[in-house]
Amino acid sequence: MIFVFAMNGTIYAWIANAIPRPPAKRAAALAFINSVGNAASIWTPYTYTYDAPYYRPALGACIALQCLAAICAVILRFYLQHQNKQLERMQNADAELTPADLKKLQKTADFEGVPISVARQMQKGYRYMI
């Protein structure tokens, strides 16, 4: 369980790098991650109130949540690999963009207030760290 608490700093650093712009979106993501991370302090004391000295229900809940976190980590890895392929396709000038790519570029262009060609240039060089 110490590993989980040690990961908080890593997760905050990852979120700060994974959402570079706009700053308001990064701030909201950090606030959300912080609130979800601290939500365990609400229910944890109540799981350890009975079944002493073994605390089987509490440890079962911890094991189940660790397994859920592992499954989510695997899903996140595949999703970020997909996103990196999409960013690579947008960076390649010869690649033909899908309608989803064009929609994403249009959204970026509208948000940043720039043309689509500049929004495509903004995608260059950025990849999610896996």
Q: Six-digit token pair at 111?
A: 């948000």
**Low-confidence residues in the chain, pLDDT < 70:** 1-5
Peptide bond into 57 cis (omega under 30): no
Q: How high is the pLDDT of residue 2?
A: 62
10 Å CB burial of residue 105 (0-12, 13-18, 19+) is buried
Q: How high is the pLDDT of residue 52?
A: 83
Peptide bond into 99 cis (omega under 30): no
pLDDT digits (tens, 9 = 90+) for 28-62: 888 888 888 778 778 778 888 888 888 888 889 88
Q: How high is the pLDDT of residue 62?
A: 84
Q: What is the pTM of this model?
A: 0.65
